[in-house]
Amino acid sequence: MADVEPEGRKFLRAFRCPPHPVDRSVTFRARRDSELEPNAIRAAHGRIHPAFTGSPQFVHEGLSRAAGAEIVLKVDCVNPIRAFKGRGTWLAVQALAGEGRVGPGRPVVAASTGNFGQGLAFAARAHGIAAVVFADEHANPRKLDRIRALGATVIQQGRDFDAAREASAAFAAAEGGHLLVDGADPWVAAGAGTVAVEVTDAAERGAIPMPATAYVPLGNGALIVGIGAWLRHAAPGCRIVGVAAAGAPSMVLSWNAGVAVETEAAATYAEGIACRVPIPEALDMMVGRVDDLVLVTEDQLHAAQLALTEATGIGVEGAAAASWAGLLADERRIGPAMVILTGSNARTPA
């Protein structure tokens, strides 16, 4: 397992006990973006590039035995970028292009730990738009190589993702590009919500059971916002649980404090959920769509990554293992439970 940065060790100690109930006195302002209405998410599903939709979903018998509950596994990493991010980035670029906000002389600009950047590069190339992706100096080289291969310009700057995000905002302002922020854009969240559309549609057909609980990796928040927006409509009794790394607890700290709380470090090897600076828009959009938050340690993430890789034969990355790690850490778990494999671009083989 990758070493945890020393400055973040206090967060691992402070959040050793994973279950972390949502404080319902939070003061974030509930948002009701039109893109996240059920009919909009349903319509969005039909507009996403078909390479990213219709991903496998089934009851995994081995994981069900290990959990003591029926596990509905959603494998959303068998696609051109090996991650779920292709759904939301496609919708966002499609909308921006349709509105004339990106195009000749005006690239789309974003920061990414890797998977969001791949999705953005894929969509931008398909729409004939230039893309510039900022990544930190320690970003996963496998993901960055793939972003470049998809035609985007990659600029590495900053000690971590959030520093790269600051650099991307400055670049967009100076160069006239459109800044797309993962977690802040409702189309990105709507795309993530189509993952849940496929699960509930299959459940209504009787192909899989309807989830009673959904475990969702929590980084910048787009995934849980989209999943929550759809499940509140199609499976209103489903408990929606966000799972964050104990070494990168900014979103959890913010949620429980009711104000944005920045941490000194995002000390986790799971770069896809390494959030040091919370996304205020995502926290607003989470209101009414999240039931509980769970923090998991590096050891729990690594163990979950190894277990999922063995169970599925897929090289699951650390952030994608958060769903399973969170389920195992949750003493209140009940089935059927949805576990999402969100990415398989592991830095090194699990």
Average pLDDT over the chain reads: 91
Q: pLDDT tens across 46-88, in order?
A: 999 999 999 999 999 999 999 999 999 999 999 999 999 999 9
Statement: residue 23 has pLDDT above 60 = no
What pLDDT, on a 0 to 100 scale, did the predictor assign at position 31? Answer: 86
What pLDDT, on a 0 to 100 scale, did the predictor assign at position 12? Answer: 29
Please tell me the distance from the alpha carbon of residue 320 to that of residue 343, in angstroms, as a whole number. Answer: 5
Domain ranges of the chain: 6-83+186-341, 86-179
Between 103 and 29, the more confident residue is 103
Please tell me the distance from the alpha carbon of residue 88 to that of residue 46, in angstroms, as a whole number. Answer: 12
Q: pLDDT tens across 187-203, in order?
A: 999 999 999 999 999 99
Statement: residue 120 has pLDDT above 60 = yes
What pLDDT, on a 0 to 100 scale, did the predictor assign at position 26? Answer: 54
What pLDDT, on a 0 to 100 scale, did the predictor assign at position 29? Answer: 82
What is the pLDDT averaged over residues 213-223?
98
86-179 and 6-83+186-341 share a CATH fold = yes
| Residue percentage of the chain with pLDDT more than 70 | 91
What pLDDT, on a 0 to 100 scale, did the predictor assign at position 32? Answer: 86
What pLDDT, on a 0 to 100 scale, did the predictor assign at position 348? Answer: 58
Order the strands of the 131-135 sheet from edge to edge: 153-156, 131-135, 108-111, 178-179
The correct CATH number of 86-179 out of 3.40.50.300, 3.40.640.10, 3.40.50.2000, 3.40.50.1100 is: 3.40.50.1100
Statement: residue 307 has pLDDT above 80 = yes
Statement: residue 24 has pLDDT above 70 = no
What pLDDT, on a 0 to 100 scale, did the predictor assign at position 317? Answer: 96
Question: Residues near 99 by Cβ (< 8 Å), separated by ≥ 6?
Answer: none
Specify the 3-state DSSP secondary structure of 118: helix
CATH number of 6-83+186-341: 3.40.50.1100
Residue 127 DSSP one-character state = T
What is the pLDDT averaged over residues 27-56?
94
Say if CB 341 and CB 316 are below 8 A apart.
yes
What pLDDT, on a 0 to 100 scale, did the predictor assign at position 13? Answer: 31
Statement: residue 234 has pLDDT above 70 = yes
Q: pLDDT tens across 242-268, in order?
A: 999 999 999 999 999 999 999 999 999
Q: DSSP string of 40-89?
A: HHHHHHTTS-GGGSS--EEE-HHHHHHHTS-EEEEE---STTSBTTHHHH
Statement: residue 18 has pLDDT above 60 = no
* Residue 255, token pair as written in the block: 């949620």
- Mean pLDDT check: name the lowest of 14-28, 136-150, 175-189: 14-28
